[in-house]
Amino acid sequence: MLMPFADHFSTIAAKYAAYRPTYPSELVDALAVGGIAWDVGCGNGQLSIALAEKFDRVIATDPAQAQLDAAPKHPRVEYRCVSAEASGLADHSVDLIVCAQSAHWFDWPKFVAEAARIAKPGALVALVSYGNMTIDGAVGEIIDDYHHHVVGKYWPKGREHVENGYRDLVMPWPSIPAPAIEMRADWTRDELVGYVSSWSATVKCAEVEGLAAFEKLQADLAAAWPNNEKRVMRWPLTLRFSNVR
């Protein structure tokens, strides 16, 4: 039986799959220890599919079936609708445990115990997250204001871990250096609007207040970015790596 969890994305699973940025190949290379990978809280399988090019098998789990339904298929990726804290995986069976933009939603002590049970000796445990994007000029200022001040109060509990770089999520294993990697995308204004529409805070704000705030954001972006040409978006990745002993 699945443990209760805070489901912020099932209602927008298709948007999440369509508009979230993709992880850079440098991240996949840094995680490529080979063997079997457990992608925890995999969402729409974005990282799972990339890992499948480097691993014999990827077990991709998420407690939201709607997210898994939006994930692409791959012969080396097995999707399972289970929680991070009770995966059902065998003892000491995986070489990589990776949590990409998901660890902040877990019951942390229970997840750590589950990871310790499942990891092979020497397995890599990797926490990956990206916070607020950076965009040059007025567009960046508009997005920052919307993120922090317009929908800021609607970010769910757990988001604070993303904002502080996962510093409060303590892993009981030795830390190892992680590379400095930047995630970027060349997007049109419409793609940026789609991405912001997939934020949990945007969804909650619309439920409580209606669409006025989001519609104003669209108008402000159109005024600052009238031609809808592609522009560079950047997200600094937070990476924390540990080896299980």
Looking at 19-28, 140-149, 154-163, which range is the least confident one?
154-163
- Domain ranges in the chain? 10-133+157-184+235-243
Quick check: 106 and 208 in contact, CB under 8 A? Answer: no
Distance CA 227, CA 225 (A): 6
Structurally, what CATH architecture does the domain formed by 10-133+157-184+235-243 represent?
3-Layer(aba) Sandwich (3.40)
More confident site: 18 or 10: 18
The rounded mean pLDDT for the chain is: 91
Give the pLDDT of residue 17. Answer: 53
Measured CA distances, 28 to 105, 154, 216 (Å): 22, 32, 37
Distance CA 236, CA 181 (A): 7
Coil vs helix vs strand at 4: coil
Whether the pLDDT of residue 192 is over 80: the answer is yes
What is the average per-residue pLDDT within 9-32? 75
Measured CA distances, 214 to 4, 127, 175, 190 (Å): 30, 31, 41, 13
Predicted TM-score (pTM) of this structure: 0.85
What are residue 183's DSSP bridge partners? 235
pLDDT level of residue 3 (50, 70, 90 thresholds): very low
pLDDT level of residue 217 (50, 70, 90 thresholds): very high
pLDDT cut 90: percent of the chain above it: 78
The pLDDT tens digits of the residues spanning 81-127 come to: 999 999 999 999 999 999 999 999 899 999 999 999 999 999 999 99
Whether the pLDDT of residue 5 is over 50: the answer is no
Quick check: 234 and 181 in contact, CB under 8 A? Answer: no
The pLDDT tens digits of the residues spanning 161-177 come to: 888 888 889 999 999 99
